[in-house]
Amino acid sequence: AGDVPRGFNRVTNQVYELGSTFKPITVAAALDAGNITDLRRRWPATPLHVGKFTIHDLHNYGSSLNVLETLIHSSNTVTAHIADELGGARLKKTMESLAMNQRPFVELPARGFPLWPRGEWPRLRTMTVAYGHGIAVTPLHLASAYASLVNGGIWRPATLKKLEPSQVPAGRRVFTAATSARMRQLLRMIVSYGTGRKADAPGFRVGGKTGSAEKPGVGGYRKHSLVATFAAAFPMDRPRYVVIAMMDEPQGTEATSFQRTAAWNSAPVIQRVVPRIGPLLGVMPDETRDIDISDLKPLIPAGTAEE
C-alpha cells in the first residue's frame, strides 16, 4: 500500500469510531422494521442505566423526545431505546447489508478491515453501536452507507471508475424506497434545525448528520481527543453526491467558540466545500427549491442543539 496517496489511505485504510453519524442508520432500520410507525411517539430521554453502564446525552433535552427531536438534538439515550426495541439481530443485519463487516469495496490495495463486533450482539452492545460506539469503520464505509440512505435504499460498491449507466451494478436493497424518502427529509431537517446548521449551504439543499466520537485509548476513551465527522448528501430533493468531512483531534479556537465537536468544526467544512464543488459537478444553487418537509414541521422542536 506504499504507493497509495496518503489521502486515500485515510479514507479507505484507517478505521474510526464515527459516533452519531450512525444514528440515522439506526432510525432507518427501525422504520423499515416497523418499530417506528408514528413519528409523534416519544421515548424517555433521561439517562439510561444498563447494568453498571449509563448512557446519557451531552445536554438535558427534557424527559422525552420524538424521532425528529432525537436526530435534531443527537440524543444517545433515545437512539439506544430505539435500538433496544429493534434488537441486535436486526441492527447487525442492516450493518452487514451495508458491508460494514467487510473491507471497503474500491480499487485500491489499502483497504482497512472494520473493528466489527462478532457473534450475537447483547443488549448493551446493540445500544452503543446504534449511536456509533463500539464499532469502527473507514470513511468510505460511511459514505457508501449514506448513499444507500438517500438514493432509494440501494447499497452499491464504491468505485474510482466513471461508469456508464449500463455499467452501474444493480446492488442490493437495504432500505425500502419509502424509508429512504423519509430519511432524506430527516437529514435535511438536521441541517435546517439541528446540530448540522453550520453545514447549510444556501441553494444546495444539504442534508446530513454530525458525529463527535471520543478516541479509544488505554483503559477507556480519551475524553479530550475527538474524531469530528459530518456525513452529508446534496441536493436532498434529488440526491446526487455524498460528502464526508472528518477531523482527527480538532482543537477549539476562537472561530469555533473553543468547541471541538463536529457541529463547530466539520459541519462548516461542508458549508464551504459544497458551493465550490457543486457547480463543477453540475449542481447549481437554487434557493427556490427544497425537499418538502411540510408534513414534519409540526413536530420540529423549539430551539436547537449543538453537538
Catalytic sites, residue numbers: 20
258, 252 contact by CB (below 8 A): yes
Tell me the C-alpha to C-alpha distance, in Å, between residue 262 and each of 147, 257, 266. Answer: 20, 13, 5
Decide: 63 and 98 in contact? Cβ < 8 Å. Answer: no
Contact between 115 and 154 under an 8 Å Cβ cutoff? The reply is no
Q: Which among 99, 102, 128 is positioned nearest to 113, based on CA atoms?
A: 102
Q: How many Å separate Cα 134 from the centre of its chain?
A: 15
Q: Which residue has the cell 430519511?
A: 183
Nearest to 270 by CA among 212, 211, 201, 210: 201
Alpha-carbon distance 16 to 22, whole Å? Answer: 12
